[in-house]
Amino acid sequence: MNTLKMQKNNIILAIVPHGDDEVLMCGGTLHKLSKTNQIHVAFVRKPHDKRTKKQLNATKEAQNILGILKLHYLNISEFDTANEFLTLKTSIEQIVNCVQPQIIFTTFYGDNHQDHQNLFRAVSVACRHQNALSVKHILVGEISSSTDQYLGPHVFHPTVFINLTEKDIQAKINAMAAYETESRKDPHPRSSENMRALAKVRGAKINAAYAEAFMCIKSIWD
C-alpha cells in the first residue's frame, strides 16, 4: 500500500474509452494534479448515437471543472477485431509520442466492460519499455458500476492511493454532473453520494478523508 507523491511539472495522460470514465476513474486526482502538472485526456470511442454525442460534448465542461489542459479524441468506432485493435494500438502510440507523458492513467484489465479490458491491452502493448520511453508510470483505476461488477478471476487490488481534499472530491462530483446522460441517483454507484462514499473508503485505507485508488502496472524510477 503506497501513498503516491507526485513530482511537479509532469505531463500526465489519462486514456479512457468514453466520456465520464476519466471522472469516475481519476477525476479527483486530475483536479489535484492539475495545479502543478500538465493534464491531457484522450477519449477513444467515436460517438454513435444521440446519447454518446451528448456524452462526448460534456467532456469540455468536465475539462474546465477538473483543470485539464487539453482533450484528445481518437474517434475509433470499434476495437474488438484484430484490425480494429491494431488501429487502437497505433492511435495510442501516436498520442503518447505527441504528448510525451511521464504518467499514464488507464482502465483496469479485469473490468466488466469489454472496451475497458481492450483498452488496457492496447495501452500495455503501445507502452512497451522499448517504445514509449517518456512513460515512467502506468496506473490503472476503478470505474464505479463497471470495475466493481466484474465476476471474473481478476480482482482490483489497489496499491497506490492518492490523497484528495474536499475540493478535489467536490470537483469530481461536479464534473460527473456535467455528464447528464451518465449520472445516476442514489443508490447507484455513479450517484454523487456513492462517489463520495467510495472516496471515503479509499481514504480510510491511508488515514485520509478521501482518496482515489489505483494499481501500479509499470513504474520506473530514475
> What's the pLDDT at 219?
93
Q: Can you give the pLDDT at residue 123?
A: 96
Cell of 203: 481514504
Q: Spell out the domain ranges in the chain.
A: 2-219
User: Hey, what amino acid is at 127?
Assistant: C
Q: Which CATH architecture has domain 2-219?
A: 3-Layer(aba) Sandwich (3.40)
Q: How many whole angstroms separate alpha carbon 45 and alpha carbon 33?
A: 25
Q: What is the predicted pLDDT for the residue at 127?
A: 94
Can you tell me the distance from the alpha carbon of 12 to that of 10, in angstroms, rounded to the nearest whole number? Answer: 6
CA 127/CA 82 separation, integer angstroms: 18
CA distance 84 to 82: 6
Specify whether the CB–CB gap between 195 and 173 falls below 8 A. yes
Residue found under cell 454525442: 53
pLDDT at 52: 84
Q: Which cell numbers in the block locate residue 165?
A: 481534499
CB distance 75 to 62 below 8 Å: no
Q: Which residue has the cell 483498452?
A: 119
Between CA 149 and CA 47 the distance in angstroms is 24
pLDDT in tens, 82-134: 788 899 999 999 999 999 999 999 999 998 888 999 999 999 999 987 777 89
- Say what the pLDDT of residue 7 is: 63
pLDDT in tens, the chain (222 residues): 454 555 678 999 999 999 999 999 999 999 999 999 999 999 999 888 888 899 889 999 999 999 999 999 999 987 777 788 899 999 999 999 999 999 999 999 998 888 999 999 999 999 987 777 899 999 999 999 888 877 778 899 999 999 999 999 999 999 999 999 888 898 998 999 999 999 999 999 999 999 999 999 999 987
